[in-house]
Chain A
Amino acid sequence: MSETLSNGHLDSLLRGQSRLPSSARGWLDALRADALEQANALSVPTTRDEEWRYTDLSPLYQKSFLPAPSAGTVAAQALDACLLPEAGCRLVFVDGHYAPRLSSACADPALGVTSFSDALAGQDPTLQANLARHAPLGADTFVAVNTAWLQDGVQVRVHAGRTAAAPIQVLCLSTRPDVVAYPRLLVVAEADSGCTLVEDYVALHGGEYLTNAVTEVALADGARVRHVRVQRESTSGFHIGTCGVRIGRGAHYLSSAVALGARISRFNLNIVQAAEGAESTLDGLALIGGRQLADMHSLLDHRYAHGRSRQLFKSVVDDEAHAVFNGKIFVHHGAQRTDSSQQSRSLLLSPRARVDSKPQLEIFADDVKCAHGAAVGQLEAEQVFYLKSRGLDEAGARNLLTFAFAAEIVHRIPLPSLAAQLERIVLQQTQKQTSDRNRP
């Protein structure tokens, strides 16, 4: 990848807007200017960068996507099809723009939901105190670019000691091709509060586009946040997402990240366990085929003692698809009694499918438990035989085992309607795979 092409891509991003959207508050302009500087300084990643070794973005760099000047129109029917009945409050982004008209008013007294523009107009210091703090600019070009082009995002506060009565659904819709969208979300769970958040990326077309999403989640002491993230972009689309999380004392962050769509997708889940007794439980599932690439990078930073983390990342890879998992765990010097486990398991359904799985542990404390394991394989012949000995045919046995492999993650998603939807997708995918295989 030549530098000119790299900078060419940034140039094309910058061409989208001749000047930054200005804000009523100087700090935001300063942040965006800083982000722009960082974006220019960082240059876009190539496979020469260790963090991007397995994920070649050159197909993305050959495109020139521009930010949409405004949100596209969304038919009520199309929107309804994406709504989760359990959700109490929904926040809709269209082509990267927060769309308050499509979002629902949030009546839950446990929650304060505000657009960034409203937050800036008011006196609430939450935004300034948190924005770009949990997903720092310096780490990643795409975060810097998202921040530089930040228009309007949404801030969710979960008030201290309260628990949201129903899940919050954040729906990011793409309505047209050739667009780059920069959705931005900030969730601040105050002390001893709780909520369930669903972030859902959906395309209403089959064209090429880029979603560059950044979410920041801050959990104050004793907070508990369940975060479900479903990426079901068009299989021609590109998706790059980062979620930066800070976990306070005794707080617990639970995440389920599912990647189904996009030609190339990358999700960075960066977690800082920033006080004693912080805990995280991370599930992941990539279910891909064709020539899709799904890259999942988790970074768990144990900074204080008595932290706990559990990670289980699975992928089901068919055809010529390629799944990447990179799980980095830091245990700092003072993070004694850390209890951490990371498992990655992959199922290859075709001889040309590929998986790269890399655990990276850097442990500087001496009294810790850190278990990790990576398994890549095909369905086990003994399992297939077991099911056949109970009457299931070869295809039925294989489908059931593939389904079960993926369903383990899906079944842990706390929204029944979403779990059922995903279960159907997994089922369709496994059955499609069988009919493909059986085709002469």
Chain B
Amino acid sequence: MTTKTILEVRDLSASINGVPILKGMDMTINAGEVHAIMGPNGSGKSTFAKVLAGHPAYEVTGGSVLLRGQDLFAMPAEERARAGVFLGFQYPIEVPGVTNSAFLRLAYNTVQGARGRDELDPLEFDDFVQEKLALLEMDPAFLDRSVNEGFSGGEKKRNEILQMAVLEPMLAILDEVDSGLDIDALRIVASGVNRLRTADNAILLVTHYQRLLDHIVPDYVHVMDGGRVLRTGSKDLALELESRGYDWVAKEKAGVAA
């Protein structure tokens, strides 16, 4: 592990309701990097994202994950968030009765407090959040609506990136952030994500489609199937997947193994 290592995943396995989904995942993510995980349905991509964020439905059955050298699984979900792990949900949850602004400020201040930084009062926070809204070309009226309630698919995804912008995570895991987005919304979301990239944070994209990677260019592309990473390559791997499909990766892997 170098000092730049944010996440180190070794031989991770996990199951849901006793059914194994992850079967020996390995991955190292360093600061400043963008990683993309691709793979067919059921390959374990989303499970990997949820396990990292601490979703209670999944049970870790083996292996280890270190976040900046700390045992990730020793931390409950909220501590991971405070330590800088952010999961952008594939299907963001609606929270009726809580306004977006109140929720963002509560989350921001909770996370800031845990990081030993100053909290913001409502007025200060409003200035702060207006900037972030502009980044995502979001209407300020979003702040007064209940969290995700009645939002279109695209609005929900934008709202996830708004939360990411507010919480300033060290590791942002974006689970199918492109699903349900039209091309304009995709461009806005991607440009928002790109502007949040720094030399100190890292982004893990989980996606089905290569088109997202035209907008958020990854340093590494991992192909997952059967709960493991079959192959890791540069962004060109994504293009190859686009033209050849996933099957050849699995076949090639099987060939190498045999």
Contacts and interface: CB of A to CB of B under 8 A. Distances in A.
B111 interface: yes
A127 B29 CA distance: 79
B167 A390 contact: yes
Given A383-B93, A405-B97, A407-B97, A388 B76 contact: yes
Nearest to A405: B97
A390 B146 CA distance: 16
A391 B81 contact: yes
Contacts of B146: 404
A396 interface: yes
A408 interface: yes
Interface in B136-182: 146, 163, 167
Given A385-B55, A392-B106, A392-B107, A408 B93 contact: no
Interface in B91-124: 92-93, 95-98, 103, 106-107, 110-111, 114
Contacts of A396: 110
| Chain A residues touching B, majority SS | helix
**Which of A383, A387, A396, A407 neighbours the largest number of chain B CB atoms within 10 Å of its CB?**
A387
Interface string B44-60: 00000000011111000
A386 B92 contact: yes
Contact of B163 (A388, A390, A401): A390
Contact of A389 (B77, B95, B96, B97): B77
A383 B95 CA distance: 7
A124 interface: no
Given A404-B95, A404-B96, A389 B82 contact: no
A436 interface: no
B209 interface: no
Contacts of B252: none
A406 B57 CA distance: 27
Contacts of B56: 381, 385
B110 A392 contact: yes
Interface in A264-278: none
A390 B83 CA distance: 11
Contacts, number: 76
Nearest to B80: A389
A401 B102 CA distance: 13
Contacts of A389: 53-54, 77-78, 80-81, 86-87, 89
A400 B106 CA distance: 10
Contacts of A382: 93
A162 interface: no
Given A391-B78, A392-B78, A392-B110, A386 B95 contact: yes
A411 B81 contact: no
A401 to B, nearest CB: 7
B173 to A, nearest CB: 10
Interface residues of B, number: 29
A182 interface: no
Contacts of B80: 389
Contacts of B81: 388-391
A309 B141 CA distance: 28
Contact of A391 (B57, B89, B96, B107): B107
A393 interface: yes
A383 B55 CA distance: 11
Contacts of B87: 389
Contacts of B96: 404-405, 408
A403 interface: yes
Contacts of B111: 390-391
Contacts of A385: 54-56, 77
B98 A400 contact: yes
A388 B98 contact: no
A390 B97 contact: no
A51 interface: no
A6 B86 CA distance: 63
Contacts of A408: 96-97
Contacts of B82: 391
A300 to B, nearest CB: 24
A386 B89 contact: yes
Contacts of A387: 95, 107
A383 B91 CA distance: 11
A26 B61 CA distance: 84
A408 B99 CA distance: 10
Given A391-B111, A391-B114, A403 B97 contact: yes
Nearest to A386: B93
Interface in A382-440: 382-383, 385-394, 396-397, 400-401, 403-408, 411
B97 A394 contact: no
Interface string A317-344: 0000000000000000000000000000
A386 B89 CA distance: 8
Contacts of A393: 76, 78
Nearest to A396: B110
A393 B98 CA distance: 16
A400 B104 CA distance: 13
Contact of B167 (A391, A401, A411): A391
A349 to B, nearest CB: 16
**Which of B78, B92, B96 neighbours the largest number of chain A CB atoms within 10 Å of its CB?**
B78
A388 B111 CA distance: 11
Contacts of B55: 385
Contact of A394 (B78, B86, B110, B163): B78
A398 to B, nearest CB: 12
A231 B178 CA distance: 49
B242 to A, nearest CB: 31
Nearest to B87: A389
A199 B77 CA distance: 45
Contact of A388 (B77, B89, B114): B77
Contacts of A407: 97-98
Given A389-B80, A404-B95, A404-B97, 9 more contacts: A381-B56, A383-B95, A390-B81, A390-B111, A392-B78, A394-B76, A400-B103, A403-B97, A404-B96
17 contacts: A383-B93, A385-B56, A386-B95, A388-B81, A389-B78, A389-B81, A390-B163, A391-B82, A391-B107, A392-B78, A392-B106, A392-B107, A396-B110, A397-B78, A400-B106, A408-B97, A411-B97
| Interface pairs A-B: 3 shortest CB-CB | A404-B97, A386-B93, A390-B107
